[in-house]
Structure 1
Amino acid sequence: MKNESGDFKLKGRKMAVTTLIFDLDGTLLDTLQGIGRSMNRVLKRNDFPVHPLSAYRYFVGEGAENLVRKAIPHQQQALVPRLLAEFLADYGLHWADKSGPYDGIENMLKALTGKWTLCVLSNKPDRITQKCVHHFFPDVPFKTVRGQIDGIPKKPSAEGVWGIIKPLDVNQSQCLFIGDTKIDMLTAKAAGMASVGVTWGFRPREELEVNHARHIIDHPMQLLDVLKAYEN
């Protein structure tokens, strides 16, 4: 949050931050059209109504299975396993279509590299998460990249966060979690770490405020201003 002078105001005790954990879709990458087009192709092949791409802003964020559940007619929920397989097959071929980093993301990551440990935690299937990160950010030395893995609870569970930070030998007070939805804010809360909500993603500022984002930023480079508040 900003105070009247325009500076970011830190709530709570200041701690040195060493590790930044980013959500992927809606935070680093704009993937909305690619995801929506893949799901709409599946719907069309099965003679179900398709959705405007803007509707997918509220379908994504909780994993592929929940995306399918939200996209198909309520009375057809028994078809979720088959349609999920169809979606993953289609999106597995088209994950890069109509997708790419948001404006300012590459410059932000360049500014962060070498100064903070950078990680990614997504509810996108792990295989596709890995492909996206390596394709769109080939020169960024992410320490850990993790998507949805069978047997590990999805965000907003903190299990994925623990799986990232324990091998790094850091605690939650040394981390920031950066994302664009309530799922990300709730993940940070569950893990006991400060959250940074971004307004350029899939959800509005109000969702971030209601879910108690510690900081809210409107441009990627503003993350550097937030981090200054955590310097010793």
Structure 2
Amino acid sequence: MPYKAIIFDLDGTLVNSLEDISDAMNKVLLDYNYPTHSYETYQYFIGSGLHNLVSKALPATTNSEEQIESCFQKMISVYSERCSIKTKPYSGIIEMLQQLKAKNLKLAVLSNKADALTKKIVAEIFPHQFDMAVGLKTEATKKPNPFEALEIAKNWDLKPEEILFVGDSDIDMQTAVNAKMFPVGVLWGYRTDEELKLSGAQVVIIKPQELTSII
């Protein structure tokens, strides 16, 4: 079956946002006099939404629901102001998107980042490149729940089998499997080849240009 559309994860797939996310969370931690973390550590905190990242970043001794929520609200405020300072597309992404658009493929972003932030980053970094950008609206529909991916398919009037799902994490591959879309893992992001394949990746690519050959 020919593929007619592609859904992309955002962080670690289209953009390297690690430093902006890490810097914002570290500022929150410093404000509370808590220990901060390295970029390498944050690499493993990213993927399940900022609420989950805040929970992982806080010291275990102060990880109450009340404290998580307080730090989460502060994190959202800080990160909203600096979400595109250091965040940049990975090498080759812009060219790849142009090639895909030239093939008249539908393109969307689906992220576990808050919906408003997802839309803001996509609009600023990829103007007019995507037909849809969807972020996290409720915890209940967070990836790997396939709900939002299937809603995108419905919006396009396409079958899930006609859509590639591209991401850099186990969560993305699980989302693709759950939605019955074709899972494509990328190795320029935050996770490993082994993790992607164990989570259901049918193909793992090293460079963005390789995606066009799958189509």
State TM-score, norm by structure 1: 0.89
Establish whether residue 95 from structure 1 lines up as the match of residue 83 from structure 2.
Answer: yes
Aligned to 2:127: 138
Tell me by how many angstroms 1:151 deviates: 6.4
User: For each residue in 1:141-163, what CA deviation from the matched residue of structure 2 results, as whole angstroms up to 9, or x when unmatched?
Assistant: x1111000136510000011112
1:29 aligned partner, one-letter code: V
Query: Following the alignment from structure 1 to structure 2, what is the Cα–Cα distance between the partners of residues 182 and 74?
Result: 25
Higher Rg: 1
Query: Following the alignment from structure 1 to structure 2, what is the Cα–Cα distance between the partners of residues 167 and 88?
Result: 29
Q: 1:128 aligns with which of 117, 141, 155?
A: 117
Tell me by how many angstroms 1:166 deviates: 0.6
Q: Which runs of 4+ in 1 moved over 3 A?
A: none
Partner SS, residue 61 of structure 1: coil
Aligned to 1:185: 173
2:193 aligned partner, one-letter code: R
Query: Following the alignment from structure 1 to structure 2, what is the Cα–Cα distance between the partners of residues 99 and 87?
Result: 17
Residues paired across the two proteins, number? 212
Aligned to 1:17: 3
Matches within 5 A, 1:1-232: 15-78=1-64, 79-115=67-103, 116-140=105-129, 142-150=130-138, 153-227=141-215
Structure 2: segments with no counterpart, 5+ residues: none
2:210 aligned partner, one-letter code: Q
Query: Following the alignment from structure 2 to structure 1, what is the Cα–Cα distance between the partners of residues 155 and 140?
Result: 16
Identity across matched positions, percent: 39
Query: Following the alignment from structure 1 to structure 2, what is the Cα–Cα distance between the partners of residues 61 and 158?
Result: 15
Aligned to 1:9: none
CA gap of 1:28–1:50, structure 2 versus 1, over 3 A, is same
